[in-house]
Amino acid sequence: MHVDELIKNAKFIATPGKGILAADESTGTIGKRLASINVENIESNRQALRELLFTSPSALSYLSGVILFEETLYQKTSDGKPFVDVLQENDVVPGIKVDKGTVDIAGTNGETTTQGFDSLGARCAQFYKAGARFAKWRSVLKIGPDEPSELSIQQNAQGLARYAIICQENGLVPIVEPEILTDGGHDIKKCAAATETVLAAVYKALNDHHVLLEGTLLKPNMVTPGSDSPKVRIEFNDPAEVIAEYTVTALRRTVPPAVPGIVFLSGGQSEEEATLNLSAMNKLEVLKPWTLSFSFGRALQQSTLKTWAGKKENVEKAQAVFLARCKANSEATLGKYGGGAGGDLAAQSLYEKGYKY
Amino acid sequence: MSCYRGKYADELIKNAAYIGSPGKGILAADESTGTIGKRFESIKVENTESNRRALRELLFTTPNVLQFLSGVIFFEETLYQKTASGKLFVDVLKEGGVLPGIKVDKGTIELAGTNGETTTQGLDDLAKRCQQYYTAGARFAKWRAVLKIGPNEPSQLAINENANGLARYAIICQENGLVPIVEPEILVDGSHDINRCADVTERVLAACYKALNDHKVLLEGTLLKPNMVTPGSEAKKVAPEVIAEHTVRALQRTMPAAVPAVVFLSGGQSEEEATVNLNAMNQLKTKKPWSLTFSYGRALQQSTLKAWAGKTENVKKAQDNFHGRCKANSEATLGTYKGGAASGDGASESLHVKDYKY
């Protein structure tokens, strides 16, 4: 097995000052993004967007990894250079989304499990050959009066563990992503409780399945109030600090130190919120035996996308916006983000109720 | 809610953190009447209440020793005993900055249908008993669960039963102001290699922490008392650094950072082995977000017991020996132990007893 390589790659991805760009939107999902800027969802436009991102001057220095969708893994720049090579030459590890979306669990109130196991081993082996060195699989849970149910927690935890061990057997570092949606009117304490319960179940499942924790990464939600509840009261505290405290406490209670890095998802947070929260976490003076970084999709690309609007003449400007967001998040991983990068555009909430990839 | 935060939450967190103070550890002096009887037999001393009291007085009043201890685990009888001059042992400890603890389990019983595996009893009226102990001055508790390694052991049943028992005990303690020491001891008996022990230890600890989470235990107000990861008693020995690496790695893979400290049991290790291994762990350069310290019984008392031999004229000699062992272990928690401490008779003596029963 690829033990040493997995450990080395996981550790590298967790390098302080760097993080992950999640550019693995499926064809359907990227279609929605392109639609929002009136751009046609065709292969050449998808290729153009990713080329814009990956060739942004200096942006790659703030990234340790990029998650790709399968189509993108095999795409090239307009000069004919494979994206994978562009990334590798800039010390960015290519990753690949390997799940096949969620399906409802019968008898539950809209809870889901994730599919993608069929031939997963063979697919991982192919992706490894194509240059991928880590994978991502998104499990989704929700908070409600009876949710997340024990069934949903068990199913998703087991699924993540199976996916993880299959990845490791084939040389890919598995990013373990148990996303608890922000949807709902619950307060931050409810989110904390759910997050701790889910993460405990996930790590028990990983242990049961003999997953090598040193060769994994975790991609959790931050602990926040629900989308329909009042934002964290400002009064005396910095809301980011409150989110940081609850999040780091939940992680300290459940994530074994053997895990080298935690790369947060941004959920529906605006670009600026996500960065401020991440920075607050890294500023927190408490023992954190894993690095805390980002694996942002929307929260890294949103304003870049708007600036580009599909037009060649906007590429340079869009790349500058992208670079600024990457730099801001890099500073956040060091607890040094001062705020304000990207202005109004970056402060826009990206929340969508019942968000489906 | 996530974990339970009752009225004692802040106190539990403070006390658990204190027990993990650098340079300090726990003296496990909670031998039941039956067990202490076996020790007394080995030095030809009669198992009477006054002798039991005399031994504990010897230990607790050793000059300048309390600085090396953050806690002492008592057996129930001892919690209410006094020095010859009439001072409660609990007060002697408190004045020396040492937290009194109390053994609350009632021993193991066999699990039917298994190959000699056990579970631990003592949950009946545990809450009431904890309240009484708290009133008497105890601030932490201990409950020993036992597992073994064999061709089919530990079985899933044994792991689940013991993990669940530990979690129930832990939450009841926290409801009543006592920091629970969670002790899932995997016996060293057997001819398995260190990798097998590591594997089993990781599985058992993962089950424990899942159970603690299920039962809403406040991890910041608990301690873990595990075995070190070693080869079986009948297998070839390995270097302390190897034990240290395997042990710390097992903890890294299972123990959340919220737990403030690990207080190792010594199992059948000799006094010197137990100290040297602990020292090696604290010298290891790797992620250790919890303190690594000791909770030793035999490995702190063996040579002291022999030096005392029940005779008043030996008390000073025995106390010097005890001081030496405590100091050595204190240094081990800092990774500064240089070896060769107070080697009274028996410091290197293996204390392994096959299929050891308390």
User: Which chain B residues are closer than 8 Å to A189 by Cβ?
Assistant: 1-2
B261-264 and B291-296 strand pairing: parallel
Query: Cα separation of A173 and A95, whole Å?
Result: 9
Q: What digits encode the pLDDT tens for the residues A294-342?
A: 999 999 999 999 999 999 999 999 999 999 999 999 999 999 998 888 7
Q: B302 in the Ramachandran plot: left (φ > 0), alpha (ψ -120 to 50) or beta?
A: alpha
Q: What is the pLDDT of residue B2?
A: 79
Q: What digits encode the pLDDT tens for the residues B310-340?
A: 999 999 999 999 999 999 999 999 999 998 8
3-state secondary structure string across B52-70: HHHHHHHHHCCCCCHHHEE
Q: A302, A348 in Cβ contact below 8 A? A: yes
B168: exposed, middle or buried (C-beta count within 10 Å: 0-12, 13-18, 19+)?
Answer: middle
Interface predicted TM-score (ipTM): 0.86
Nearest to B256 among A201, A214, A256 (CB): A256
Q: What digits encode the pLDDT tens for the residues A157-181?
A: 999 999 999 999 999 999 999 999 9
B3–chain A Cβ distance below 8 A for any pair: yes
Interchain pair B1, A196: CB under 8 A: no
Query: Cα separation of A255 and A9, whole Å?
Result: 19
SS3 at position B141: strand
- Mean pLDDT to the nearest integer, A194-220: 98
B82–chain A Cβ distance below 8 A for any pair: no
Q: Tell me, rounded to whole angstroms, the distance of Cα A326 from its chain centroid.
A: 14
- Mean pLDDT to the nearest integer, A202-213: 97
Q: What digits encode the pLDDT tens for the residues A59-70?
A: 999 999 999 999
pLDDT at B275 over 90: yes
Interchain pair B256, A254: CB under 8 A: yes
Annotated catalytic residues of B are 183, 225
> What chain A residue is nearest to B287 in terms of C-alpha separation?
A289
- Cα separations in angstroms, A288 against A177, A256, B261: 19, 10, 15
pTM of the model: 0.91
- Mean pLDDT to the nearest integer, A7-15: 98
Query: Cα separation of B354 and B267, whole Å?
Result: 11
Nearest to B203 among A189, A207, A250 (CB): A207
Query: Cα separation of A222 and A244, whole Å?
Result: 8
To probe the interface with B, which of A186, A207, A218, A255 has the most B CB atoms within 10 Å?
Answer: A207
Q: Any idea which residue has 């202005």 for tokens?
A: A343
Q: What digits encode the pLDDT tens for the residues A178-194?
A: 999 999 999 999 999 99
> What chain B residue is nearest to A209 in terms of C-alpha separation?
B203
pLDDT at B358 over 50: no
pLDDT at A288 over 90: yes
pLDDT at A53 over 60: yes
Among candidate residues A51, A177, A196, A331, the one labeled active-site is A177
Nearest to A137 by CA among A43, A76, A216, A198: A216
Q: What digits encode the pLDDT tens for the residues B278-304?
A: 999 999 999 999 999 999 999 999 999
User: Which chain B residues are closer than 8 Å to A258 by Cβ?
Assistant: 249, 252-253, 287
B156–chain A Cβ distance below 8 A for any pair: no
B207–chain A Cβ distance below 8 A for any pair: yes
Q: What is the pLDDT of residue B344?
A: 60
User: Which chain B residues are closer than 8 Å to A196 by Cβ?
Assistant: 2-3, 213
Query: Cα separation of B110 and B143, whole Å?
Result: 16
- Mean pLDDT to the nearest integer, B266-279: 96
Q: What digits encode the pLDDT tens for the residues B155-172?
A: 999 999 999 999 999 999
Interchain pair A197, B289: CB under 8 A: no
Q: What is the DSSP string of B102-122?
A: EE----EEEPTTSSS-EEE--
